[in-house]
């Protein structure tokens, strides 16, 4: 007889599936890129602009979406987000040129902008404090699994039904997830029909949906700023990989679509392992030492330094297999950062987990705007597909240093209001 899946694991499984689908929908264009550029007559610089189009609304709606998730709950917020991003994916298959493709990607960014901060809001209610690193690591591992399987899946669909139909098929799959999510999830774990008392006893007190709260925006933004800047350093490398890796193998080594997709997929699978290992390592250190700062920062710094060292090796060889291994190593180390750094907003500001994680992810979203454009410009200006990795190396080293400014061990304390209603006081850690 099959063992019943617990409600907490069921919710975590649905969030893992959401991370998988959202990344499949946002990086499918990277694999289809060479075909789309040829079909629509775009240059590398223009395609870099298309890749960045997703990030403009994505950046804007990190904080707005996180705040909405805190206010109205993850159930309704993610349902609406899912409807928007699924529609945008389908519309991508119907574009007629540069402008319509740009607008479709903007709509996708609008739909996905609130997803990860709102998912963190859901995890805050549904995850025991000692499993935060694991929960963040495993969900992002599924995101990287989406990265890994997107190249072969999209290449297969393009070969059999064309690139336009491939986007339509993936968009329909997103709609299926939306229906399942809304039927299964509850914002308050105690209202879930399958929850047990043993599970509830491990969870923190949930914040009720609709409860009014006045977000101390200035103080919270200042408190989260070091985390946002550190995450920008990670995001630069992430979006370079997500947007350009299949084209890197195709253009730099003359591979066909199938083989470039397979090499890119291998690199992304290394990220799946990195996400999972990073979260488990962070939680393991926390359980053994009880030291939140050590548990988060040790893994983050090792990840940044390992990624910088691995990417440096790319400049010393042209061997395809060795380059693929170095890029895989670089992505593995970069992804070690994910589990612990996404736990930091939950450590710092549990009451504002959605808003705090939105502030943090704004750093990566800004990197998503700049990184793909810079890569395309450098390639068009120099003809080198390796030179853009210099920026990633420098930012990884910077991120390792900036990590020590985050202070996850200092929980955010709201400024006190004086008798006249004006805010007085500061937050812990400032």
What's the pLDDT tens digit per position in 27-70? 788 778 878 888 888 887 888 788 888 878 888 887 787 788 88
Total domains in the chain come to 1
What's the pLDDT tens digit per position in 355-398? 888 899 889 888 888 887 888 888 888 888 788 888 889 999 99
- Whether residue 164 contacts residue 96, with contact meaning beta carbons closer than 8 Å, is answered with no
Residue 108 in any domain: the answer is yes
Whole-number pLDDT of residue 400: 97
* Residue 212 in this model has a pLDDT that exceeds 70: no
Find all residues with CB under 8 Å of 224, minimum gap 6, and list them: 345, 348, 349, 356, 359, 360
- How many CB atoms within 10 Å of residue 164? 16
Whole-number pLDDT of residue 29: 85
Residue 204 in any domain: the answer is no
Fill in the DSSP letter of residue 416: E
Average pLDDT, the chain: 86
Nearest to 52 by CA among 70, 26, 72: 26
- Whether residue 33 contacts residue 85, with contact meaning beta carbons closer than 8 Å, is answered with no
CATH number at residue 108: 1.20.1250.20
Distances (CA, A) of 360 to 66, 147, 222, 429: 10, 22, 11, 16
Q: Count the residues in the chain.
A: 430
Helix (H, G, I), strand (E, B) or coil at 423: strand
Residue 424 in any domain: the answer is no
What's the pLDDT tens digit per position in 136-164? 889 888 988 887 888 788 888 888 888 89
Residue 429 in any domain: the answer is no
Q: What is the dihedral of CA 147, 149, 155, 159, to 10 degrees?
A: -150
Residue 338 in any domain: the answer is yes
- Kindly report the pTM of this predicted structure: 0.76
Nearest to 60 by CA among 14, 94, 110: 110
Residue 2 in any domain: the answer is no
Residue 206 in any domain: the answer is no
Would you state the structure tokens that stand for residue 48, as one six-digit string?
């870099």
Residue-wise over 70-81: b if at least 16 C-beta within 10 A, else e? Answer: bbbbbbbbbebb
Q: Give the range of the structural domain holding residue 109, as residue numbers without chain letter.
A: 7-198+217-414
Mean pLDDT to the nearest integer, 416-423: 51
Residue 430 in any domain: the answer is no
């Amino acid at each position: 007889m099959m063992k019943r899946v617990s409600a907490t694991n069921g919710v975590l499984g649905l969030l893992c599936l959401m991370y998988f689908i959202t990344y499949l929908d946002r990086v499918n264009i990277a694999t289809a890129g060479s075909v789309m550029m040829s079909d629509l007559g775009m240059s590398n610089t223009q395609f870099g602009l298309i890749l960045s189009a997703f990030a403009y609304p994505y950046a804007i709606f990190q904080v707005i979406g996180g705040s909405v998730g805190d206010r109205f709950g993850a159930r309704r917020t993610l349902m609406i987000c899912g409807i928007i991003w699924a529609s945008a994916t389908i519309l991508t298959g119907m574009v007629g040129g540069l402008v319509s493709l740009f607008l479709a990607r903007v709509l996708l960014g609008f739909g996905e902008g609130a997803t990860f901060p709102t998912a963190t809001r859901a995890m805050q209610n549904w995850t025991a404090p000692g499993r935060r690193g694991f929960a963040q690591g495993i969900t992002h591992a599924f995101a990287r699994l989406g990265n890994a399987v997107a190249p072969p899946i999209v290449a297969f669909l393009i070969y059999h039904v064309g690139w336009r139909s491939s986007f339509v098929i993936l968009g329909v799959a997103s709609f299926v997830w939306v229906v399942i999510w809304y039927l299964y999830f509850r914002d308050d774990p105690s209202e879930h029909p399958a929850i047990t008392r043993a599970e509830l006893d491990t969870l923190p007190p949930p914040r009720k949906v609709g409860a009014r709260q006045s977000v101390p925006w200035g103080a919270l933004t200042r408190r989260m700023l070091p985390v946002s800047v550190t995450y920008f350093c990670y995001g630069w490398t992430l979006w370079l990989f997500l947007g350009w890796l299949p084209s890197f193998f195709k253009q730099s080594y003359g591979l066909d679509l199938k083989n470039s997709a397979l090499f890119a997929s291998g690199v992304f699978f290394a990220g799946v392992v990195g996400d999972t290992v990073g979260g488990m390592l962070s939680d393991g250190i926390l359980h053994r030492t009880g030291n939140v700062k050590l548990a988060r920062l040790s893994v983050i710094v090792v990840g940044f330094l390992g990624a910088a060292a691995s990417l440096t090796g790319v400049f010393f060889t042209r061997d395809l297999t060795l380059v693929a291994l170095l890029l895989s190593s670089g992505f593995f180390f970069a992804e070690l950062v994910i589990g612990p750094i996404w736990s930091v907003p939950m450590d710092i500001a549990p009451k504002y987990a959605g808003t705090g994680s939105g502030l943090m992810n704004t750093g990566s979203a800004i990197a998503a705007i700049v990184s793909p454009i810079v890569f395309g410009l450098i390639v068009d200006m120099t003809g080198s597909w390796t030179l853009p990795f210099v920026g990633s190396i420098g930012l990884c080293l910077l991120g390792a240093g900036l990590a020590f400014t985050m202070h996850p061990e200092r929980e955010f304390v709201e400024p006190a209001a004086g008798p006249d209603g004006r805010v007085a006081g500061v937050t812990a850690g400032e």
